Structure 1
Amino acid sequence: MLTAALLWAGAAAAASPEAPAGALSCSGCHPAGKGVDTPVLSLAGRAPADLAAAMRDFRNGARAPTVMGRIAKGFTDPEIDALAAWFGAQKD
């Protein structure tokens, strides 16, 4: 019985990859789910290419300055790609 529980727990963990560095700080402002009443959009389920492009635009100053411009400057291209892929894979 214990072996079955451990195998099930391992399979569940493999099916839901860990959030990349920085994802928890994003979730502080960008809530999960459409039913949350906030002016900030959820990132879950969005196209990874769109998320990555937006982050790079904020980082490079191509989008209007907000707190995101300052936040995005702290991320490298590989980190942005990892965040975009992870948020894109989350269910909204």
Structure 2
Amino acid sequence: MNTKTILALACFISLALTGTARAADMHTRVIAATCMACHGPGGKSLSKDIPDLTGLEQDKFVQLMKEFKSGERESTIMHRHAAGYTNAEFEAMGAYFAGLK
């Protein structure tokens, strides 16, 4: 392969990976938005009975969601929500909420 072909392939791969990262970011924002129906706009709860998600440490978020999913942590509704997500999605949402201020 000549240099131009290698550079063109490198650019194409870079663009493809960038698009994938943006798609994953959009996916995370969409699934995190479902949390905001109860946990408030931007993860800031409007009720004293529902905890804020804004600024919650990623590891804590992931731990709680796994506990809801397994049934280890009791809840009226969260186990149903948690059942629909993968561990990777828990990690992504945890990072998203940890980054909100």
Give the letter for the 2:61 counterpart. Answer: L
> Do residues 50 (structure 1) and 60 (structure 2) align?
yes
Higher relative contact order (CA 8 A, sep 6+): 1
- Which residue of the partner structure matches residue 30 of structure 1? 39
Identity of aligned residues (%): 28
* CA deviation string 1:30-62 (max 9, x = no partner): 12437x344111100011100110000000000
Show structure 2 runs of 5+ residues with no match. Answer: 1-24
Larger radius of gyration: 2
79-88 vs 37-46, greater mean Cα deviation: 37-46
Pairing of 1:5-84 with structure 2 (within 5 A): 18=26, 20=28, 21-31=30-40, 32-33=43-44, 36-84=46-94
> Do residues 86 (structure 1) and 86 (structure 2) align?
no
- TM-score w.r.t. length of structure 1: 0.72
Show structure 1 runs of 5+ residues with no match. Answer: 1-16
- TM-score w.r.t. length of structure 2: 0.66
Total equivalences in the alignment:
75
